[in-house]
Amino acid sequence: MNTFLDFIDTYSWAMMLSILLVLGASAFLGRFTWARHAQRDAVLDDELKIVLGATLSLFGLLMGFILSIAISGYNTRIAAEENEAIAIGNAFQRTTLLLSDAHKAHAEKLLHDYLNLRIRFFETANEDIRARIRMESIQTQTHMWTLISNIAKQNPNPVMASALNACNDLYTAQQKTMASWRHQIPGAAWVILILFGMCSNFLIGYNMHSKTGSSSLLLVVPAITSLALFMISEIDIPGKGMIHVTPHNLEAVKVTIGEGGLAPSKVPF
């Protein structure tokens, strides 16, 4: 199943074309099967229409349910990016405004580096690069925690406790992002979707009785179904594809800091 999901990640367009070919072949197979058994009575035709309607209804409900799962995961990743932006903004306000001038420049530099790393995390589509960026951001957050904790040991007070909480929130927000950075739709659900699509298109082809009609009509439903499944896969892919989470909130924090908001900084970034 993991191999199948990796294939969807990397070759989503190829997946769409493959599904189109499979569903189209199912429809033409149904048409060919009907041609070999053309002598049927009206009762059988009515029964087949009932079966076709029920199958299409179930297939539509299943696709809607799977789409809702994919959108829920996408919304969770958007919320995680927003939480990271809030956590970084709070860290700038609490640490750089509470520390002495001797430590403020170091803290600001670490937070700027951390912010840039988190923006790159959301922007890159390469999983290996993203894994390296995540480790670098964890190391930067650890350096920030070490700096604040050493100062807090020398000056234990509620103010420094607030700065420590802000540093801890950086790691917590990042872990929430990683918890949502996965496929919401399992591979088994994709297999069931494709099997339902094959059965539905076979029945559609089997119920088309016209011998003179254009065979291209048989590709209408497979094409629409393939596009719908392609859209679902694009929404479900974390950090890849045409539909992905962009770090708008993190970039807004960077712009705000660059304009002197949150905590005025003299450190270039």
Residue 187 belongs to domain spanning: 2-258
Q: Is residue 264 part of a domain?
A: no
Q: Is residue 266 part of a domain?
A: no
Query: Which tokens go with 212?
Result: 């003179």
Q: Is residue 226 part of a domain?
A: yes
Per-residue pLDDT tens, the chain, 269 aa: give them: 555 555 556 667 777 888 889 998 988 888 887 666 556 666 677 778 888 889 999 999 999 999 999 999 999 999 999 999 999 999 988 887 777 777 888 888 899 999 999 999 999 988 889 999 999 999 999 999 998 888 888 878 887 888 888 888 999 999 999 999 988 888 888 889 999 999 999 988 888 765 555 567 788 889 999 999 888 988 988 888 788 899 999 999 999 988 877 655 444 44
Q: Is residue 265 part of a domain?
A: no
d(CA 42, CA 36): 17
Q: What is the pLDDT of residue 268?
A: 46
Q: What is the pLDDT of residue 267?
A: 45
Q: What is the pLDDT of residue 8?
A: 59
Q: Is residue 142 part of a domain?
A: yes
d(CA 80, CA 74): 10
Q: Is residue 172 part of a domain?
A: yes
Query: Quick one: how far is CA 56 from the chain centroid?
Result: 27
Helix %, strand %, coil % of the chain (to 5) = 80, 0, 20
Q: What is the pLDDT of residue 120?
A: 95
Measured CA distances, 160 to 40, 143, 203, 225 (Å): 84, 16, 69, 57
Q: Is residue 178 part of a domain?
A: yes
Q: What is the pLDDT of residue 58?
A: 92
d(CA 224, CA 65): 17
**Cα Rg of the chain, angstroms:** 27
Number of domains forming the structure of the chain? 1
Measured CA distances, 189 to 2, 5, 94, 235 (Å): 13, 11, 46, 15
Cβ-proximal residues to 106 (8 Å cutoff; 6+ apart), any chain: 147
Q: Is residue 177 part of a domain?
A: yes
